[in-house]
Amino acid sequence: MTLKYLIIDDEYMAHSIIQEYADLMPNLELVKNCYDALEALDYLNSNEVDLIFLDLNMPKIKGFEFLKTLTNPPKVIVTTAYQEYAIEGYELNVVDYLLKPFSFSRFLTAINKVIEPISATQKTNTVSQKVEGQRVFLRSNKKYIQVDLDTILYLEAAGNYTKVVTTEETISIREKISEVLTNLSTDDFLQVHKSFAVAIKHIKSIEGNRIFIAEHIIPIGKMYKMQVNQLLR
């Protein structure tokens, strides 16, 4: 899936940074650079985009004023130097709020929130259902690998690294397992040991203190036994 994105910012440097980061990712396509909100409105009148990177402090029309004029806005990531507007931004359902200057890793976190949205209409009681085809970008060495969440079998901690074991390959990323889990749905993934988290849908069987997933055997830690038992009720 390719995401068509639009940058609205009156600073040329901001455009360069966002484009530089976006070019490192395979499925982001820049369709227009806009340097004020009026230029963006004119473009959106006859074109559709999936994502807008929106600055707030611009001439003519401010960022949030512009956003309020859109009847059916696409996903929006706010990029600004003004932290005090964050609350208003979340009230307008922006996906994320990037405070300038922001790093690539912070940019990547925001993009992952766009790629893997959880549909509120699919939630029933306390169970939320994942949109089919969700994907996430994982950083391995100096490249970013796009992974279908449905293919992830389990995660294994290895110091400051985490092994992401999928049905097709094993990817080592330089993040702690706790950090990786923050980007994954707790309805789909369960930590069962200080060093392991499993994809619930791929569990074949549970025997004693072991979980069987495909040809893999995952240990269950004493502190996590109660969480695993909840699956059996």
| Assigned token pair, 38 | 């009026």
The answer on 100 and 40 residing in a single domain is yes
Reported pTM: 0.53
Q: How far, in whole angstroms, is CA 182 from its chain's centroid?
A: 10
Rounded CA-CA distance 223/121 in Å is 34
The answer on 7 and 108 residing in a single domain is yes
Look at residues 115, 141, 164 and tell me which one is the last residue of a structural domain.
115
pLDDT digits (tens, 9 = 90+) for 118-171: 333 233 222 333 333 477 778 777 777 888 888 999 999 988 889 999 999 998
| Assigned token pair, 153 | 């079998």
Contact 49, 4 (CB under 8 A): yes
Residue bearing tokens 């359902």? 93
- DSSP conformation letters of 96-131: EEEESS--HHHHHHHHHHHHSPPPGGG-BTTB-PPP
The answer on 92 and 152 residing in a single domain is no
Rounded CA-CA distance 65/75 in Å is 16
Range of the domain at 184: 121-231
pLDDT at 125: 28
What is the rounded average pLDDT for all residues in the chain? 83
Report the domain count for the chain: 2
Neighbouring C-beta atoms of residue 80, cutoff 10 Å: 21
The CATH number that applies at residue 135 is 2.40.50.1020
Look at residues 68, 85, 115 and tell me which one is the last residue of a structural domain.
115
66-84: average pLDDT? 85
